[in-house]
């Protein structure tokens, strides 16, 4: 139904009937006065019988043609129950009707815009049957069986197309005495979209017991001329003598009615309320034969898709318009209505994660699906607007598009709410995102059987747009499958339209140029009151982040892993680690544009992972606005090299969740558990390095400079003790060395020990040395083991312990290697051996890792594998060597090293010798 169209004046036709119409009008008014008096005299008794059911019954619906999409004359009729009261009252309706509601079959539609309208002022001024309305505004006739001045008969009344005003799609009207009766039209937007008619204002005293309403499919057809208002005999059974009516010559316009385009049985329902019971409705319904010939109904849809983004990899608006070519020829068939529309966007157009910040969802209950009232949705759920242009409406229906909840992974609800001219349509749809590619398919199913010329969806652009343009440029195809209500006789139509991808200037391939930024919160050397942060980021229109495959920390940047309970592998993989294992936080940004989505998570220290002694479980709840996309768990393996440097290998980063490509912009890790991280004690230039991979497989190495201060101010006071064991029966000696150092000092870098004179290397032991290859394979022969060592560090909750091996040193003397193990770590400490010109043995450990060591013990026992020998001149009760300590901060400390000796056996021998001499 449409807004008013101007009605062209037809002066010739009007002048021919003016005299006749005025004469008939005067007669009607006179008869009406008598009729009204007669009706008033008997109005009382019928109202007293409220205990009997009035009806309706004998509801019938007939159509002049059953061809789907044709323009039929449609007649509905019904009767009310009556009762013979006897006497002067006689037969009367059980109760006089007040309101009639008629629900027309879904798909039976009217186009009141094709018929000129009678202005409300002219319709209201006409006495009996709207005598002020021109014949060209007539759309049918109403036949009422009523008490006509004491005798029942048919009253034939013209039905006019009356200006409905702004809040109704159409209004028809006729007059039964006073006041005039209006037939209001509304759409059943809460159910099937069919039309309801409501007849209000029926005169209480008319005592109508039957009604027949005929609406003309083509009101301008000359076949209706004999039933036009100027020719009808109000109190007769039909038109007057045709010779008394001049030819009307109503100009041809377009059809008023159109049959459904679905070949399914048509159901018409009626409900009647009476004056005694205005709020109680008696009902009836009838099923008419299904329309036929659906295969003959024309159906020519079209589709257009136009993005708004001017560049690739950016938030974008999008306009999608589905059109249907309409046929408004009264002699032809109307176009089939659209039942189902499925539109698939080109690959690359996806949901944008950037839309999620601040986004809300509106569910079906708040939209009011199944109800007529307005939607009660938050503004933050609005993502665009929709427009429906219909040939049967004078102005478009417009309104918002609301985003709804996710019905299942990868499926997102969308609601279109449009209104105008008293009609409010609510169309639920589904957006399906391909779980592997994110390609979008939108479906609107079971749309109302109402014709439209265009159905347009406009999705808003801007940084918070719900859609993102492809990361590449070119042209792709949008496809659509449109199903008519005339199916299965009618056929689905498949459509394809080209769509620009990306827009603007695009490179042949996306570059991969991520940035690495890393550092500590406290630059004081040796501090354990610090946090370590690392972030990898990229710009728009570059390859997304695929993996942070290897991060290597600077020497000496370590963690007190022994102070944190480690999460077990099962919970680490499930993302359910406890708070006791928390060591930091994770922050992720995803999506294109200036305002990507921000996600936050937690980092947990875990048991070993992928062969490494320790691991991280990075747990990020993927809460994208109103959508819970699940919990993302990224595992990392923490390895510790022979030099105690830490490297972290992270599993590939997720690229798509629930059909939404993440387009990762940055990943940031912050290890900020109190006392967990420990700074190096060296201020030498260093760096954090990482190997980064893009989603396309390209790799690059990234470097972030790392520096500290305050190294020279660190105290450095390590202490060493040494003791020897000398045999009194055979040559050789054992040696035990211990180093201690207080907390908060510069860590050791080198230790050079010179043994006292008289201690020499046992040449026989050199033949049992382990090769470097055997050492690397941790397969040194037992004969090469010459002692043991242990180290205590505050980083671990267990000491490091291991064997000391004599290892081949090429052309030089063998090396002394302490292979320390504990806490999943293996740290070799290598000492090179030399002999000075004075014959004194020196051992230097040149590559001690920059880690805090509170105690270190080296034991070379006096046994059959001893490597030290003694000269005959070696003092019996002690000697002294020297030690030079060098700190990681450059400090140097030289100390004399007293070597205490167990002399008990030597003193006994001396006393025996003295006794003999005496």
pLDDT in tens, 324-339: 999 988 889 999 999 9
User: Per-residue pLDDT for 906 more than 70?
Assistant: no
Tokens coding 550: 């290897």
pLDDT of residue 240: 59
**Using CA atoms, how far apart are residues 611 and 154, in angstroms rounded to an integer?**
98
Question: What average pLDDT does the structure give for the chain?
Answer: 86
Provide the pLDDT for residue 393.
Answer: 85
- Contacts of residue 831, Cβ cutoff 8 Å, sequence gap at least 6: 815, 816, 817, 818, 843, 844, 845
pLDDT at 2: 36
| Residue 380, SS3 per DSSP | helix
Q: Minimal CA–CA distance to 721: which of 895, 863, 861, 892?
A: 895
Task: Please give the sequence-ordered ranges of beta strands (E in DSSP) within 70-223, or none if there are none.
Answer: 74-79, 82-84, 91-93, 97-103, 109-110, 138-148, 151-162, 171-175, 180-187, 195-200, 210-215
Distance (Å, rounded) from C-alpha 890 to C-alpha 232? 119
Residue 259 pLDDT more than 70? yes
> CA-CA distance, 768 to 765, in Å (whole number)?
6
Asked if the model's pLDDT at residue 731 lies above 70, the reply is: no
Mean pLDDT of the 348-370 span: 94
The predicted structure's pLDDT at residue 261:
96
Cα distance between residue 556 and residue 235, in whole Å: 110
For the ranges 309-323, 438-452, 703-717, the lowest mean pLDDT is seen at 309-323
Do 600 and 620 form a contact (C-beta atoms < 8 A)? Answer: yes
SS in 3 state form for 282-330? EEEEEEECCCECHHHCCCCEEEEEEECCCCCCCEECEEEEEEECCCCCC
Predicted confidence band of residue 203 (pLDDT cuts 50, 70, 90): confident
pLDDT at 232: 78
Sequential DSSP letters for 399-462: EEEEEEEEEETTEEEEEEEEEETTEEEEEEEEEEE-TTT--EEEEEES--S---SEEEEEE--S
Q: Minimum mean pLDDT among 352-356, 790-794, 838-842: which range? A: 838-842
Place of tokens 């892993």: 561
How far apart are alpha carbons 593 and 595 in whole angstroms?
A: 6
CB-based contact 742:717 (threshold 8 Å): yes
Burial of 898 (0-12, 13-18, 19+ CB in 10 A): middle
Mean pLDDT throughout 654-677? 96
For residue 183, report the phi and psi dihedrals to the nearest 5 degrees: -110, 105
* pLDDT at residue 41, rounded to an integer: 40
* Cα torsion angle, 319, 325, 329, 333, sign: negative
Distance (Å, rounded) from C-alpha 761 to C-alpha 305? 87
Cross-strand partners of 785 = 805
Q: What is the pLDDT of residue 540?
A: 85
Of 513 and 187, more confident: 513
pLDDT score of 516: 97
- 132 with 126: CB under 8 angstroms? yes
Tokens of 142: 């109403």
How far is it, in rounded angstroms, from Cα 530 to Cα 528? 6
Higher pLDDT, 617 or 233: 617
Q: What are the Cα distances from residue 632, in Å, to 555, 623, 672?
A: 31, 10, 21
Q: What is the pLDDT of residues 827-876, one digit of tens each?
A: 999 999 888 877 788 999 999 999 999 999 999 887 777 788 776 556 65
Instruction: Look up the pTM and report it.
Output: 0.84
The answer to whether residue 370 scores a pLDDT higher than 50 is yes
Structure tokens at 825: 């770590």
Quick one: how far is CA 335 from the chain centroid?
37
pLDDT on residue 893: 96
CA atoms within 13 A on the CB side of 209: 18
Report the range of poorest mean pLDDT among 60-64, 434-438, 750-754, 768-772: 768-772
- Cβ(592)–Cβ(352) below 8 Å: yes
The rounded distance, in Å, linking the Cα atoms of 701 and 550 is 9
Q: Please report the DSSP string for 50-61 in residue order.
A: TTS----EEEEE
Beta bridge partners of 792: 855
Task: List the structure tokens of 145.
Answer: 């069986």
pLDDT band at 600 (very low <50, low <70, confident <90, very high): very high
Tens digit of each residue's pLDDT (9 = 90 or more) over 486-524: 998 888 999 999 998 876 556 556 788 999 999 999 999
Q: What letter would DSSP give residue 580?
A: G
Q: pLDDT, tens digit, for every residue of 299-316? A: 999 999 999 877 888 999
- pLDDT band at 36; cut points 50, 70, 90: very low
pLDDT, position 918: 56
Q: Are 318 and 349 in contact (CB under 8 A)?
A: yes
Task: Please report, for residues 190, 325, 339, the alpha-carbon distance to residue 427 in angstroms, rounded to integers and kept in the order given.
Answer: 10, 21, 12
pLDDT at residue number 574: 97
Mean pLDDT of 74-96: 83
CA 704 – CA 685 distance, rounded (Å): 11
Mean pLDDT is lowest, of 178-187, 422-431, 525-534, 882-891, for 178-187
pLDDT of residue 409: 92
Higher pLDDT pick, 536 / 169? 536
236-255: b or e for each residue (b if 16 or more CB lie within 10 Å)? eeebbeeeebbebebeebbb
């Amino acid at each position: 139904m449409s807004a008013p169209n101007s009605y062209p004046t037809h002066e010739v036709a009007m002048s021919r009937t003016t005299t006749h119409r005025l004469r008939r009008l005067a007669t009607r008014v006179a008869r009406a006065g008598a009729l009204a008096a007669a009706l008033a005299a008997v109005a009382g008794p019928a109202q007293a019988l409220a205990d009997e059911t009035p009806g309706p019954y004998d509801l019938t619906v007939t159509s002049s043609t059953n061809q789907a999409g044709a323009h039929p004359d449609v007649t509905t009729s019904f009767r009310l129950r009556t009762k013979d009261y006897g006497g002067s009252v006689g037969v009367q309706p059980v109760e006089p009707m007040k309101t009639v509601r008629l629900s027309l079959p879904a798909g039976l539609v009217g186009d009141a815009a094709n018929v000129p309208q009678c202005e409300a002022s002219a319709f209201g001024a006409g006495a009996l049957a709207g005598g002020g309305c021109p014949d060209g505004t007539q759309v049918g006739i109403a036949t009422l069986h009523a008490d006509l001045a004491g005798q029942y008969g048919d009253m034939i009344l013209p039905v006019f197309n009356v200006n409905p005003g702004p809040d109704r799609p159409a209004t028809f009207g006729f007059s039964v005495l006073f006041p005039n009766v209006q037939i209001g039209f509304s759409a059943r937007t809460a159910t099937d979209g069919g039309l309801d008619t409501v007849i209000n204002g029926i005169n209480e005293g008319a005592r109508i017991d039957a009604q027949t309403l005929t609406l003309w499919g083509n009101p301008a057809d000359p076949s209706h001329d004999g039933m036009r208002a100027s020719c009808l005999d109000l109190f007769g059974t039909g038109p007057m003598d045709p010779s008394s009516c001049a030819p009307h010559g109503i100009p041809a316009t377009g059809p008023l009615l159109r049959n459904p385009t679905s070949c399914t049985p048509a159901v018409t329902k009626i409900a009647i309320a009476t004056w005694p019971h205005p709020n109680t409705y008696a009902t009836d319904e009838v099923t008419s034969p299904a329309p036929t010939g659906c295969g003959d109904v024309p159906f020519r849809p079209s589709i257009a898709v136009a993005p708004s983004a001017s560049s690739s990899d950016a938030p974008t608006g999008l306009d999608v318009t589905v059109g249907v070519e309409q046929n408004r020829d009264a002699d032809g068939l109307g176009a089939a209505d659209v039942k189902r529309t499925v539109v698939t966007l080109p690959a690359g157009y996806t949901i944008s994660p950037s839309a999620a910040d601040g986004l809300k969802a509106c569910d079906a209950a708040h939209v009011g699906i199944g109800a007529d009232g307005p939607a009660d949705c938050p503004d933050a759920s609005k993502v665009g607007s929709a427009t429906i242009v219909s040939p049967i409406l004078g102005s478009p229906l417009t309104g918002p598009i609301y985003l709804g909840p996710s019905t299942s992974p990868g499926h997102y609800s969308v609601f279109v709410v449009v209104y105008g001219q008293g009609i409010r349509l609510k169309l639920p749809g589904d957006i399906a995102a391909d779980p592997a590619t994110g390609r979008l398919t939108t479906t609107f199913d079971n749309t109302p059987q109402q014709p439209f010329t265009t159905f347009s969806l406009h999705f808003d652009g801007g940084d918070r747009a719900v859609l993102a343009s492809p990361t590449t440029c070119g042209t792709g195809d949008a496809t659509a499958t449109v199903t008519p209500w005339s199916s299965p006789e009618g056929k689905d139509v498949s459509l394809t339209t080209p769509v620009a991808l990306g827009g603007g200037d695009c490179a042949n391939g996306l570059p991969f140029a991520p940035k690495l930024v890393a550092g500590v919160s406290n630059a004081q050397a040796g501090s354990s009151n610090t946090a370590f942060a690392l972030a990898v980021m990229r710009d728009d229109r570059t390859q997304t982040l695929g993996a942070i495959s290897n991060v290597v920390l600077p020497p000496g940047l370590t963690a007190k892993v022994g102070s944190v309970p480690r999460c077990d592998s099962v919970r680490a993989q499930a993302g359910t680690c406890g708070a006791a294992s928390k060591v930091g936080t994770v922050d992720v940004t995803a999506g294109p544009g200036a305002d990507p989505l921000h996600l936050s998570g937690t980092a947990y220290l875990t048991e070993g992972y992928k062969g490494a002694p320790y691991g991280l479980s990075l747990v990020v709840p993927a809460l994208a606005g109103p959508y819970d996309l699940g919990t993302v768990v990224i595992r990392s393996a923490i390895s510790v090299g022979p030099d105690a440097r830490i490297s972290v290998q992270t599993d590939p980063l997720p690229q798509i969740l629930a059909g939404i490509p993440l387009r990762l912009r940055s990943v940031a890790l912050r290890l900020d558990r109190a006392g967990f991280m420990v700074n190096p004690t060296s201020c030498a230039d260093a760096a954090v390095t990482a190997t980064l991979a893009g989603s396309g497989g390209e790799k690059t190495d990234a470097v972030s400079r790392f520096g500290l201060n305050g190294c020279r101010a660190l105290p450095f006071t390590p202490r060493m003790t040494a003791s020897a064991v000398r045999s009194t029966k055979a040559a050789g000696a054992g040696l035990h060395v211990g180093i201690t150092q207080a907390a908060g000092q510069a860590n050791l870098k080198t230790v050079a020990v010179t043994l006292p004179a008289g201690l020499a290397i046992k040449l026989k032991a050199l033949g049992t040395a382990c090769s470097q290859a055997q050492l690397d394979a941790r397969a040194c022969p037992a004969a090469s083991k010459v002692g043991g060592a242990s180290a205590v560090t505050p980083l671990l909750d267990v000491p490091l312990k291991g064997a000391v091996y004599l290892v081949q040193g090429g052309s030089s003397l063998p090396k002394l290697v302490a292979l320390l193990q504990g806490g999943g770590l293996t740290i070799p400490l290598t000492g090179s051996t030399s002999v000075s010109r004075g014959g004194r043995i020196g051992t230097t450990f040149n590559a001690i890792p920059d880690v805090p060591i509170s105690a270190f013990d080296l034991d070379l026992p006096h046994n059959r594998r001893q490597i030290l020998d003694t000269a005959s001149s070696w003092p019996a009760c002690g000697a002294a060597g020297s030690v030079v300590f060098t700190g990681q901060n450059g400090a140097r400390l030289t100390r004399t090293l007293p070597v205490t000796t167990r002399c008990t056996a030597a003193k006994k021998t001396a006393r025996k010798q003295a006794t003999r001499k005496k």
